[in-house]
Structure 1
Amino acid sequence: MKTMSARDAKHQFGRLIDTARAEPVVVEKHGRPVVVVLAVEEFERLKALSELDRQATKSVGKGD
């Protein structure tokens, strides 16, 4: 996973987007990670996994 400072992300926004399309990018402020920028396809994949996990947890709870 790549890392960029918030300042670099601001000044090189196009590069941030290009990099994030290939792999998630951690953006740091004052040396601490504050956000992760990732491709929309990866975001959608993670949302789908989260939904599947929530449904599985829900169905396990009903079996009690």
Structure 2
Amino acid sequence: MHTLTANEAKTQFGDMLLKVQREPVQINRNGKPVAVVVSVKDYQQLEAMKLQLLQAKIQRGRSESDAGLTVDGDTFFNDLMEQYKE
């Protein structure tokens, strides 16, 4: 992943837009990561993956619910976000 400072991202915005077509670009401010810029294609793929994971969790939850195994909402979404991070 390419990394830019916030100032570089501002002054090299056009170049950054070209870079994100190849790979995500991390933006750092004061040496700390604050954002990641991705292409529309990558963003759409991430959103589609999140939807698939959510649908799979819902389907699994229905099966578990039918079997008497349930999980609370906080646990469900925490598990979902952990899978998303991987």
Q: CA deviation at 1:52?
A: 0.2
Runs of 4+ in 1 over 3 A off after TM superposition: none
Q: CA deviation at 1:36?
A: 0.2
Structure 1 gap ranges (5+): none
**In the alignment, what sits opposite 1:42?**
42
TM-score after normalising by structure 1: 0.98
**2:21 counterpart of 1:33:** no
Give 1 or 2: higher strand fraction: 1
Structure 2 gap ranges (5+): 65-86
CA distance in 1, matches of 2:2, 2:29: 14
**In the alignment, what sits opposite 1:61?**
61
Q: Which structure exhibits the higher relative contact order, with contacts defined as CA atoms closer than 8 Å and separated by 6 or more residues?
A: 1
Question: Match for 1:21: what amino acid?
Answer: Q
Count of aligned residue pairs for this structure pair? 64
Q: CA deviation at 1:57?
A: 0.2
CA distance in 2, matches of 1:39, 1:60: 31
The alignment's C-alpha RMSD in Å is 0.4
CA distance in 2, matches of 1:32, 1:16: 18
Q: CA deviation at 1:58?
A: 0.3
Q: CA deviation at 1:9?
A: 0.3
Bigger Rg, which one: 2
CA distance in 1, matches of 2:15, 2:32: 20
